[in-house]
Amino acid sequence: DAKKEDSISTLFAKVFQKPKSFYKEMIENGFRNVCLEKKVPMEKATQLKNKFIDGLFYEEDFTRVYPYGSLASHILGYVNKEMIGTEGLEKVYNKQLTGKDGNYVFERDVLGRVISVDEKASAPAVPGNNINLTINKTYQKILQEELAKGLEKYGGESAVGIVMNPNDGEILALANMPDYDPANYEIFSADARRNRAITDTYEPGSTFKSIVLSILFDQKLARENELINTEGGKYFIKNVRVFDDHPHENLTVREVLEVSSNIGMTKLSARFQDETLYKYLRDFGFSNPTSVEMPGEAEGILRKPSTYNQLSKAFLSFGYGIAVTPLQIIAAYSALVNGGTLYKPYLVKSITDYKGNVVQENHPTKIRTVISKSTSDIIKDIMVGVVEKGTGIAAQLDNVLVGGKTGTSQKLENGSYTSRKHNSSFVGFFPADNPQIICMILVNAPEVGKYGGLVAAPIFREVS
């Protein structure tokens, strides 16, 4: 019908600003049903829906739009082809984000042609709720860019970065490299879509020393200026060699952390009662999921005190024989520097409906007090020394005093440790006297640099 063709072509040309002939040719050359436009924005679709021309019909095909591309992809997750949230917050809050369908009541003539719509009997669709995040968009962008640059510079299989407010558990940025575009999730591997910050565990190495040392101070089992014999960098315990990369004959307890002495930590760890060490590490959150609002969180591994011996405690004191997630480490470090309180990390600030009414509001959740404020002050001060004159020098910032700790741990390959592959990490905080920002960087198997002080600490500096 030439008249209908003309009406439809005129309408589409007007709405989409294209020549009328463009649509006429499509209709004339088409076979059966012809699709004139796909993925039409809502405002244009509304203009078309209100026009009733016999033969013209539409199909609803909703699309989730991610306007910032891969930004925060591992936090957001994605929806699958059936519009069901499949990863990340999309999965956790699928019901909240899904709206309610509306309906139109049409009146047709005897030939089945639509002649009017009954507005009173029709109901508009109701949009889903809005999830408002704690994420700072600028921090998130910088973190992703610097992790990508770091991987390029140092090599490595993957990298993780987390930025938090240590005083309340708010996650300000969380990123994994490689990342992916949620709008085109199917073209990325499952490996790229994995949120390593919460799903992957690793042995933390020397970043664990700050935590163990804080327990020693809290139990009054060590004094910061007490001298420890560090054996010139080589020490045997049960015929197993423990060595330091930077050998010293003697170190104060403060210096044990500053230069990251394995031998110093080995000797100090012998002072613990097994149950006490275990209880503190549980209190710091290890072997418990943090319960952050994301799917697939690992709980990690912390062996029971009945399995401890002099050797296993020694290895534990410098971060081996335990499995942790990056999020568990930064949450524990937040307690180290905020005065001793473990907070639940969280991503969702509030949930509002489409009219802006608050449906749910989240507040900081204190889990427990782990160490005293005086212990927190001592360990914080020593970690400033790590950055000022120890292994974390590469993390120094020009305009603000930074504290932190480096970590380098050998990776397990086929059941044994290899000196060829490492996890290199750094946890840093600033301003040192009253920390407002804490940042954790982990690079998996860097090819250049190896050590946390040479790989993760410089990435921290660039992010900060």
**Residues 173, 163 contacting (CB under 8 angstroms):** yes
409 is catalytic: no
Angle between the 373-389 and 207-218 helix axes, to the nearest 10 degrees?
140
DSSP secondary structure string, 35-103? ---SS--HHHHHHHHT---TT-----------TTTTTTHHHH--B-TTS-B-SHHHHHTHHHH--B--E
DSSP state of 129: P
Cα gap 388→374, rounded to integer Å: 21
Cα gap 409→262, rounded to integer Å: 12
**Cβ within 8 Å of residue 33, ≥6 positions away:** none
Phi, psi of 51 (to 5 degrees): -100, 125
Cα gap 462→397, rounded to integer Å: 9
Grouping H, G, I as helix, E, B as strand and the rest as coil, residue 441 is: strand
Cα gap 463→439, rounded to integer Å: 9
Of 154, 185, 156, the closest CA to residue 84 belongs to 185
Radius of gyration of the chain (CA): 29
Q: Is the peptide bond prior to 431 cis by the omega test (within 30 degrees of 0)?
A: yes
Taking the CA atoms of 144, 210, 237 and 323 in sequence, report the sign of the dihedral they define: negative
**Residues 337, 429 contacting (CB under 8 angstroms):** yes
**Residues 411, 122 contacting (CB under 8 angstroms):** no
Q: Which of 70, 158, 206, 409 is catalytic?
A: 206
**Residues 169, 343 contacting (CB under 8 angstroms):** yes
DSSP secondary structure string, 206-268? THHHHHHHHHHHHTT---TT-EEE-GGGEEEETTEEEE-SS--SEEEHHHHHHTT-HHHHHHH
Phi, psi of 316 (to 5 degrees): -60, -35
Cα angle 56-62-64, degrees, rounded to a multiple of 5:
150
- The residues annotated with a catalytic role in the active site are 206
